[in-house]
Amino acid sequence: MPYEHITVETRDNVGVITLNRPKALNALSGALMNEVAEAVDAFEGDDAIGASILTGGEKAFAAGADIKEMKDKVYMEAYREDFITAKWERIAHSRKPIIAAVAGYALGGGCELAMMCDFIIAADNAKFGQPEITIGIIPGAGGTQRLTRFVGKSKAMDMVLTGRMMEADEAERCGLVSRVVSPDRLMEEALTAAKRIADYERNTVMAAKEMVDRAYETTLAEGIRFERRMFQSLFGTPGQVEGMDAFADKRRPKFNRS
Ligand code: CAA
């Protein structure tokens, strides 16, 4: 299906979704988010794809939810359509890993969308922020919750209450971002990471991702218990047998990529 607000491509076993409304700095309209959700669905259902990348443009990953589109909304309308939740959370619920490759502005919903991905690789010109307070609202796509878990209360309060932007090096220092590279190396770095993930045993990757996600939603004791069971359940699976045989045989493992 042709998309209007995003482009979608595959590179071997990696899917790439590029936000593509450059004139509006990739403002996240309803139509754009519907397309993102469809693209995630398609990659999720495609056995040939093991991991994906979500990226934007050089000037903006995304400058937030579309302010012009939402400015006249009233509560009952937002409630009825479950504004933000309906399609946006699709990324957070993907069972296959998604890497955010962020250059330029990642503000408001843009920062929140990046945080819904599994990790963020940033170009050194990236700027993160939750500036909703400057337009009379608060973050509505998880910013107050996910940002706090990433960077802690003090910095999250600073970002959410002042609306200031955070540069890539600060974002890396405080754990929002996993790596920072020059803008011209951003996609190469993200593609290499995604390919590396996609080449591992699919079920093992999904289990590892599920376990790290669980750390955000449970107590330490329950998380450890769940991890232990998941770890034990991988014994005797093709990935474990091949991975450990290959190690013992001093050869590269041939994992199941579908
Ligand atoms: N929604 C709609 N349009 C947007 C937009 C947004 N979030 N961000 C930028 N645009 C549009 C501008 O209106 C402008 O369009 P026109 O040319 O038609 O006027 C175009 O993109 C270029 O933007 P600027 O001229 O403003 O570019 P700049 O370089 O001067 O400034 C910027 C860049 C600092 C990012 C500025 O555009 C800006 O502050 N944008 C809004 C950021 C923001 O407040 N985001 C939060 C949105 S609310 C939200 O996301 C809620 C949530 O939690 C889900």
Whole-angstrom distance, CA of residue 205 vs CA of residue 233: 14
Point out the catalytic residue in the list 109, 129, 142, 243. 109
DSSP label at 133? Answer: G
Residue 167 catalytic? Answer: no
Q: Which atom of ligand 1 is nearest to the CA of 66?
A: 1
| Span 92-117, pLDDT tens digits | 999 999 999 999 999 999 999 999 99
Q: Which atom of ligand 1 is nearest to the CA of 67?
A: 1
Residue 39 φ then ψ, to 5°: -65, -40
CA atoms of 61 and 76, how far apart (whole Å) = 30
Q: Which helix (H) or strand (E) holds 119?
A: strand 119-123
1 three-class SS: coil
Q: Under a CB-based contact definition with an 8 Å cutoff, are residues 43 and 49 in contact?
A: yes
From 62, 63, 132, 142, active-site residue = 132
Catalytic member of 112, 172, 189, 201: 112
Residues 51, 63, 65, 126: which is the catalytic one?
65
- Residue 258: its pLDDT value, please? 82
- For 6, phi and psi rounded to 5 degrees? -140, 165
What is the C-alpha separation between 40 and 167, in angstroms, rounded? 28
Determine phi and psi for 180, rounding to 5 degrees: -125, 130
Residues with CB under 6 A from ligand 1: 24-25, 27, 63-68, 84, 105, 107-109, 112, 131-132, 135, 139-141, 143
What DSSP element (H or E) covers 165? Answer: strand 165-167
94-103: string of b/e by CB count within 10 Å (b at 16+)? bebbbbbbbb
CB 145 within 8 A of CB 119: no
- Ligand 1 atom at shortest distance from the alpha carbon of 107: 45
Query: How confident is the prediction along the chain (258 residues), in pLDDT tens digits per residue?
Result: 689 999 999 999 999 999 999 999 999 999 999 999 999 999 999 999 999 999 999 999 999 999 999 999 999 999 999 998 888 999 999 999 999 999 999 999 999 999 999 999 999 999 999 999 999 999 999 999 999 999 999 999 999 999 999 999 999 999 999 999 999 999 999 999 999 999 999 999 999 999 999 999 999 999 999 999 999 999 999 999 999 999 999 999 999 988
Measured distance CA(194)–CA(99) in Å, rounded: 7
Q: Distance, CA 122 to ligand 1 centroid (Å)? A: 20
User: Is 136 an annotated catalytic residue?
Assistant: no
Could you tell me which of 91, 51, 83, 38 has the C-alpha nearest to residue 65?
A: 83
Radius of gyration from C-alpha coordinates of the chain: 19
Report CA(23)–ligand 1 centroid distance (Å). 10
Among protein residues, the one with the nearest Cα to ligand 1's atom 47 is 64
Hey, which of 29, 67, 147 would you mutate to test ligand 1's pocket, going by the most ligand atoms within 8 Å of its Cβ?
Answer: 67
Is 143 strand, coil or helix? helix
Contacts of 43 (CB under 8 A, 6+ apart): 15, 17, 49, 52, 94, 96
Q: Is the pTM of this model over 0.95?
A: yes
Q: Tell me which amino acid residue 7 is.
A: T
Which pLDDT score is estimated for 134? 98
Instruction: Please name every residue paired with 6 in a beta bridge, in sequence order, or none if there are none.
Output: 19
